[in-house]
Amino acid sequence: MKLLEYEAKRVFSGYGIPVPKGVLIREPEEVTARLPELGDGVVLKAQVDVGGRGKAGGVLMADDASAIETARELFSREIKGVPVREILVEERLPIDHEYYVSIAVDRSSRQPVVLFADAGGVEIENKALEDESAVRKVVVSPLLRDIPPFLMREILGGAPKELAPVINSLYHVFQEKDAMLAEINPLVTTLQGVYAADAKLVVDDNALARQGIAVNRDLSEREREAEKHGFSYVELDGTIGVIGNGAGLTMSTLDLIEFYNGRAANFLDVGGGADQERVMHAVKLVASMPGVNVIVVNLLGGITRCDEVAKGIIAAGVAPTVIVRMAGTNEEEGRRLLAECGYRMLESMDTAVKAAMEVSL
Amino acid sequence: MIYGDKNLGVIVQNITGRQGTFHTELMNAYAREAGGRGVVAGVAPGKAGREVHGVPVYNTVKEALREHDATASVVFVPAGAAGDAVMEAAHAGIELAVVITEHIPVHDAMKAIAYAKLHDCTVIGPNCPGLLSPGECKLGIMPAHLATRGEVGVVSRSGTLTYEVVDELTRAGIGQSTVVGIGGDPVIGQTFVDVLARFEEDPHTKAVVVIGEVGGNLEEEGVRSTDLPVVTYIAGVSAPPEKRMGHAGAIIEGGEGDARSKVRRLHAQNIPVASRPSEIPKLIREVL
């Protein structure tokens, strides 16, 4: 789950990483009372979870006189379709130089990787794609608590040594907050010292509970409902509902629908060992989506019992046609139950998807 | 076959859990049929002295290995403690840990895999179905009846999709040497590169099916690393773009981790890419 900038900065600050003085406001009028803390010249930053926020008009400069007007203006905007409900008002820093630093999970080496660039800022991604040498990548053993000095020297190259403690603190944040990504872009140097001018922190969804985060904000309400039943669920815009077990097989079913020029309405992975109850909830959830006139159920597995699945489908008793392809324990019993109630059970993914195409047309 | 034959001695960690108990029985049924050793001991802290389907239970891996000759462990320990379980196994001398558990925090996975490596322990998974060498041995939860013995290796990030492909191969009369599910998490022990290197050294494997998904670029890395004939299938070409994780993910993955660009890059390397699972047997025949 992604934290907003001000939340990430609170975390960073707690680890001794200097951040600009700032206040969070929810009404334009609040800005006036807080200006004396920040000095003349402020930056107003919309707290929205979108990439390229600055370019999309989510960051505005103001002085004391224009602050309230600027705040009104920013609150009235939508940044890439997201309404602005909170603004972080910060002191404007006399920036000497901008660097880029982030720590992420490197799939290839299965270790944390520190990325550092001497030129930070909004164009970092494009710069990195154009010129690989623009970003230094250094992997660190996950068994080490600190970045050892020899690796820190490699990370910094010719950059000032005063950045080292900030980068090491960011590494502590990365480890202790179960981060998938901890990023400072830009990391700025000023005459007064080093600051994290922006902050990004993404927490591993599998570690939310132990990080004390009760609700995953990245999910929609329907997705959260699905999560409660143990499903992974994504809504799409087609007409053919899809229920599968396992992400790969479910994705593959969607691909097959596209291959036959159909459009899937959703992705729903019921997870391993689905019983009657779970299958019933899954079928009901997908059937409740507007525009769905046929549902393909594609289940395969050692633990999944076909008779349970059949009972779940029958118990759901939904209006859209349900076409079933399943293989596993008690296959014959499942087939018999479904046939008794007039459902179709097909032998392969291909035939099931083709049958669904015919119904959807 | 790779990673072990019928002589492999296996322990199960959290053997008293629902999945651990259920799959211990299935693994041993398979071992009996193949004339192999199968699961010789189980571990569940605080439950020493019990038996699960005739398999003795110990409190720790160390105690289990004191009484039994085993080099592999299948881990069914719940997510919050699974990383620790892998480290315990590696520390006690287990050489191969197959981690079935899903939803392990990625930092736990990184630590456990790094620690296991220090102890020369190979980790498969987490969040994987394990491995199956038809007629030899089964470690994990794959439905064995779909597979037949043969000369094609299968390596996959997916669970059920792997069963689908194995079923397609078997029905087309193409047997498998070993089927390996490496797991769908961002951080996994054995990657395509590692598994393909093992297949390359296996005299029984003549070609390999590589089954990938959206995210990362480990499929391309793997395919590039081997001289064996390879057929690939990538799930998720119709999936909406994966949520980007800031700049770092894009930079690491060269800006692309979606299925379409993966397929493009594989085509560029002249690797056959199946458009759907049912096309795989035909493509395999062409490279064999």
Residue where one domain finishes, among candidates B80, B98, B124: B124
Q: What is the ipTM of this complex?
A: 0.90
CATH number of the CATH domain containing B51: 3.40.50.720
Nearest-Cα residue of chain A relative to residue B279: A350
B152 and B248 inside one domain: yes
Closest listed residue to residue A115, CA positions, set A82, A162, A161, A147: A147
The CATH 3.30.470.20 portion of chain A extends over: 97-207
Q: How far apart are CA A332 and CA A349, in angstroms?
A: 18
Residues B99 and B220 in one domain: no
Regarding whether B55 and B25 lie in a shared domain, the answer is yes
| Reported CATH class of domain A221-360 | alpha beta
Tokens 């007629």 belong to B135
Q: Which of B60, B93, B124 is the last residue of a domain?
A: B124
Residues 119-138 of A with CB under 8 A from B: 124-125, 128-129, 135, 137
3-state DSSP call for residue B5? Answer: coil
Residue A37 touches chain B, beta carbons under 8 Å? no
Say if residue B163 is in the same domain as residue B279: yes
CATH number where B230 lies = 3.40.50.261
Residues B275, A183: C-beta atoms closer than 8 Å:
no
Sheet strands (E) in chain B: 9-13, 38-43, 51-52, 55-58, 72-75, 96-99, 122-124, 130-133, 137-140, 149-156, 176-181, 207-213, 230-235
Closest residue in A to B250 (Cα) is A125
3-state secondary structure of B89: helix
Q: Is B228 domain-assigned?
A: yes
Q: Are residues B107 and B169 in the same domain?
A: no
How far apart are the C-alpha atoms of A103 and A163, rounded to whole Å?
14
Give yes or no: A183 in active site: yes
A137, closest residue in chain B (CA to CA)? B252
- State the catalytic residue, choosing from A5, A90, A98, A183: A183
Q: Residue B203: give the domain boundaries.
A: 142-287
The CATH number of A97-207 is 3.30.470.20
Number of structural domains in chain B: 2
Instruction: Decide if A327 and B245 are in contact by the 8 Å CB cutoff.
Output: no
- Facing B235 at nearest CB: one of A128, A129, A248: A248
**Min distance B287 CA to chain A CA atoms (Å):** 23
Contacts of A353 in chain B (CB under 8 A): none
Per-residue confidence in pLDDT tens, chain A, 361 aa = 999 999 999 999 999 999 999 999 999 999 988 888 898 899 999 999 888 898 999 999 999 889 999 999 999 999 999 999 999 999 999 999 999 999 999 988 999 999 999 987 767 777 766 777 789 999 999 999 999 999 999 999 999 999 999 999 999 999 999 999 999 999 999 999 999 999 999 999 899 999 999 888 887 777 788 888 888 888 888 999 999 998 889 999 999 999 999 999 999 999 877 889 999 999 999 999 888 999 999 998 766 788 889 999 999 988 889 999 988 778 889 999 999 999 988 989 999 999 999 998 7
Chain A residue nearest residue B188, CA to CA: A110
- Position A219 scores a pLDDT of 76
Residues B245 and B166 in one domain: yes
Sign of CA dihedral A99, A101, A107, A109: positive
B68, B91, B247, B267: which one is catalytic? B247
Rounded CA gap, B212 and A252, in Å? 11
CATH number attached to the domain at A21-91:
3.30.1490.20
| Identity of the residue in B107, B186, B237 whose CB atom sits nearest the CB atom of A107 | B186
- Whether B130 maps to a domain, the answer reads no
Q: In 3-state terms, what secondary structure has residue A103?
A: strand
Name the domain boundary from B124, B158, B190.
B124
> Domain check: are B68 and B149 in the same one?
no
Report d(CA B174, CA B188) in Å as an integer: 28
Chain B residues inside the 8 Å CB shell of A103: 248
Same domain, B262 and B175: yes
Question: Do B186 and B271 belong together in one domain?
Answer: yes
* Residue range(s) in chain A whose domain bears CATH number 3.30.1490.20: 21-91
Q: Ramachandran region of residue A276, left (φ > 0), alpha (ψ -120 to 50) or beta?
A: alpha
